[in-house]
Each structure stands twice: as C-alpha cells, then as structure tokens.
Amino acid sequence: MSEAKKISDVLRIAVAQFNPVVGDVTGNLAKARAARADAAGQGADLLLLTELFISGYPPEDLVLKPAFLTACLQAVEALAADTADGGPGIIVGFPRQGEKGRHNSVAILDGGRILAFRDKIDLPNYGEFDEKRVFVEGEMPGPVNFRGVRIGVPICEEIWNDLGVCETLAETGAEILLVPNGSPYYRGKVDVRHQVALRQVIETGLPMIFANQLGGQDELVFDGASFAFNGDKSLAFQMSQFEETLSVTTWKRTVDGWRCDQGPMSRIPEKEEADYRACVLGFRDYVNKNGFKSVVLGLSGGIDSAICAAIAVDALGEERVRTIMLPYRYTSKESFADAEACAKALGCHYDIVPIQEPVEGFLSSLSDMFEGTESGITEENLQSRTRGTILMAVSNKFGSMVVTTGNKSEMSVGYATLYGDMNGGFNPIKDLYKMQVYALSAWRNENVPPGALGPSGEVIPQNILSKAPSAELRPNQTDQDSLPPYPVLDDILECLVEKEMGVDEIVARGHDVATVHRVEHLLYLAEYKRRQSAPGVKITKKNFGRDRRYPITNRFRDR
C-alpha cells in the first residue's frame, strides 16, 4: 500500500529527445529500448518518446504501405512486452492502421501490454506539414490512468490550435499533460513553442511536458529543446537544443496539483549560434543517414563556399571533407590565396583542378554554331557547368556527395547556374540570405559550437568576409553588377517571400519601385531553377520547397 502511494505521489518522467531515422523501424525500436534502459537505470516510472518515433517523422507516403504499418505495430507490441519487467512504462508515437483509416497515433505501454491508443485529431496541413494527405482524424481523447495518475496525451498540433483537446482532457480528469512532438526548427521557434504551451497551461491550469524530436530529416531539422511548465506558469525544466539527450524529471503531487521538483535548466542558443547549429545538424544527418562516407565541394575563395566548408568540417570532421579550387583565367590571385587559407584553417583536403582546357574545348566544339554572336552569359555559364561536371565526376569516382553552396538570395533571383554551381546532393545554406551568411561566418570565426568537429579560431579568412562578392566569370566582375546591394536585395526578398507583402508596401519601406518590380520578376522567373535544386536545411519560417510552392508557369506580377 505504501509503495502504491509513493508511486502516485511522486512520478519520475524520463523525456527522450532522440534522433530516429525515417523508415528504420528496427533501429528506432533499438533506440527506444536503449532510452528505456537508461530511464530505468535512473529510476524513472515513465518514458516519454516523441511523435511517430517508431516510424521516424515525417514518414510521408511510407505510411501508405501496409507492410510498413505492420512493422511499426509489431515494434510497439515488442516494446509493450518489454514493460512486463516492472520497469518504466512508455509513451511512444507510431502510425497505426485503424478501422477508419491510418492514424498518427500514440501508444501508452505498461505492465507488458498496450494500455491505450490516442489518435491525433488536429492534422496540420500547412507549410511543411501535409498530414491530412495520409492520415485520418482521431476521436476526442480522455486521460489514461497510469499507475494511479490520470495522464492527458495531446499530440503536437493539438496544443497549437483551439480545438479544445487540452480543455477536454482537463474537464475529464487529466492531472498532467504529456505532449509528444515533431516540431521543426525555424529561427526563434523555442519562444513560439513556449507561448503555445503557456496558453494551454493558462487555459487548463495543468502542467505540461513538451517532448520534441531531435535530428535532421531531409530539409527539416528537429532541434529538441524539450521543456515543461508547471501549472502556475513557471518554467519547470528546459532541455538542451540540437543535442540528443534523455533527462529524468521528478514530479510531486501537491495540493495545487503536480509540480516539477527536479529537472534540467539548459541554455538555449540565440540567433546566429542557433542557425549555425541547425545547419550543422541538418547537414550531418543528411550525409550520415543517407550513407555518404565523405563530401566534396568547390572552394572558390568566396564566402558561400567557405561557410559550407566550415559547416561540413564541423559536421563530419576534416578527414571526410574534400575541397577543390577550380580556377579559370578570371580567377584572381586573391581568390587562390583565400581558398587555400580557408582549407588550411579547416584542415581539410584541398586540390586544384584548372578548368581552362575543358572550357576551351567546349568553346571550340561550339565555335561554328556560335560564329557571329557576341560572347556573354552563355560563355560565363560554361565555366560554371564545367566546374559542376568535374565535381560530379569526383563524386562518381570516390562516392563523395557534392555539396552545393548557393545562398537564399541567389536562389531567389536565379543568380546561379543550373547544372553548374547548382549541382550537388545537399545545400546547408539554401535557406540563409546573403547577409545572414556573413553574420554566421563572423560568428563561427569567434565560436566553436558544442559538438563541432572543426577547429577553433578563424576558419573563414577575414579577407573573404571583407572583399566584394564575385562569381569571377568575367574580368572585374562583382555580384552588384547584376544585383542590388545585398542589404537592399535581402530586405526586398524577405518582404516578398517571408511576409508576402505587396509592392506598394515594400516601396513604402524606402525601396525604389523599379528595383522592387525587377526583384519580384526575377523571383518568379527563377521558380523552374528552384524546382531542380538540391534540398537544404530549413532555417526561416518560409523556405523554398516545403513552405513556399509557387507555380513555374506564372504570369502574375504585382503592378
């Protein structure tokens, strides 16, 4: 009797922000078992895992395969059987085939069996989410009795909107809310999550634990940063961001309800540090989860390729990164020196492969056809496409993934060459505007992020940060020959892309109307290039691809 009272008055909940792999049901089951063993060793009563942990999140159309759903259910049943040993119970997410269709579900496991299922009601269908495409809505849930404690288990989106899930759980006797999440990163997202959770805590008066997935999945980065609020709105605990970890938190029953008595209080990184670490985590997981042993990138002496090299070394280590300078007649001595200095500072492999002969060979082959025409952008793009071909040849020969290095400013307006510098498997800075690239580069020169495998000190030479950016495809070329100054361009693009502002509103901010019209035109015109571009880490609230889906054929202009 005293043991039962002890369990119902003190509840030790282990929160695991782990890194599952989409489709790796066996591996994810092993991770869940490892988490439970760790939790048991620390005396936990209950292990809280994240949304769709068994399948990995988001599984997208994998859930359309009956064999996949069967494998996920078998894994959950195996986990349930594990709990017969009297150790921690488990809350775990998985895709479930129900009578009415496929559900985004959570299973509550204890005593060797499945105590209950909870099926997600609020299926997000915006931005990066399209769950309504593959799942059906569940029924309004009630609490689950776990060892004398009535636990409410809303699933992710159900706390973000006002469908009344948390309110219903409170009204039907829930004492504490445990929320498994798959909440992707964007800049400032931790504060947004805190406000979302607080609104429900205020509404229900119940404490809430927010457990979030960790890891990269294609473009998305799940940053962890799990946390909880007590019923009095105080922050109960805060787990680290961008780090795979398990924390055991102690909750005690008081006259005012459950209250956290012990839990971590980790620092949450700000601005440039958070963005940089998201880029590293997303890049590392894309390379490792897809089985690449190494990467290769063209190192031009410019800032974009330099920061991509730094991210690659921080993510993978210097021995897995190969950089190649691909000079032509317009490559300056300054760029030679800067590229070599960057590679040396990072400690990665550095090669020089001149492209004079292959470019001249292409021009010779085309000379009859091009006779009588003026040299221009076609000849410039031949240089870029030659570089892209060489990098792909190195990739094919050695099995290294090509890293593509275009920033969001360039991707927005088409200032990149299809089948040239856009070649590659993944782009770690695809969602960073040019001025953000500068800010993150300066930050990295002053800091080494936790878990980074790269060196300390200045890894991006100061001259790269201070010189005028140039593609070096013709004599004395700078980016501003073709584009507005980057501070101007980036502000216009943020207005058009992130905020969907009209031209008149943007002009009212002090921008030239002709410049805004031109940038808008270039933005729409480059859609066909973006559709063929490599995936890249999502950093902003609206990245190209998952969040912003515009038609390629599109004659609308805001005039």
**How do beta strands 257-262 and 245-254 pair?**
antiparallel
- In 374-471, DSSP assigns E strands to 401-402
Is 51 annotated in the active site? yes
> Which residue in 372, 428, 422, 381 sits closest to 528, CA to CA?
422
302 appears as a binding residue in the annotation: yes
300 appears as a binding residue in the annotation: yes
328 appears as a binding residue in the annotation: no
With beta carbons less than 8 A apart as the criterion, state whether 428 and 539 touch: no
Catalytic residue among 156, 166, 279, 342: 156
Angle subtended at Cα 62 by Cα 16 and Cα 210, rounded to the nearest 5 degrees: 25
381 appears as a binding residue in the annotation: yes
Catalytic residue among 120, 408, 430, 538: 120
204 appears as a binding residue in the annotation: no
Distance CA 515, CA 66 (A): 53
Name 145's bridge partners.
150
Is 120 annotated in the active site? yes
With beta carbons less than 8 A apart as the criterion, state whether 419 and 388 touch: yes
With beta carbons less than 8 A apart as the criterion, state whether 330 and 477 touch: yes
252 appears as a binding residue in the annotation: no
186 appears as a binding residue in the annotation: no
Catalytic residue among 31, 51, 131, 260: 51
What is the C-alpha R_g of the chain? 26
> Which residue in 301, 303, 336, 328 sits closest to 410, CA to CA?
303
Locate tokens 């501003």: which residue?
A: 480
Name 426's bridge partners.
403
Which tokens sit at 62? 């994998």
Is 293 annotated in the active site? no
114 appears as a binding residue in the annotation: no
Dihedrals phi, psi of 530, to nearest 5 degrees: -65, -35
With beta carbons less than 8 A apart as the criterion, state whether 56 and 24 touch: yes
361 by DSSP, 3-state: which? helix
189 appears as a binding residue in the annotation: yes
The DSSP output letter for 395 is H
**CA distances from residue 258 to 194, 198, 252, 276 in whole angstroms, order as listed:** 19, 16, 5, 37
Instruction: Give the number of C-alpha atoms closer than 13 A to the C-alpha of residue 108, restricted to the C-beta side.
Output: 23
202 appears as a binding residue in the annotation: no
With beta carbons less than 8 A apart as the criterion, state whether 44 and 250 touch: no
Distance CA 211, CA 107 (A): 15
Instruction: Give me the sign of the Cα torsion angle 26, 29, 35, 41.
Output: negative
138 appears as a binding residue in the annotation: no
226 appears as a binding residue in the annotation: no
Distance CA 482, CA 462 (A): 25
303 appears as a binding residue in the annotation: yes
Known binding residues for ATP are: 298-305, 405
Known binding residues are: 126, 183, 189, 298-305, 381, 405, 410, 529
Known binding residues for deamido-NAD(+) are: 381, 410, 529
Catalytic annotation, residues = 51, 120, 156
Known binding residues for L-glutamine are: 126, 183, 189
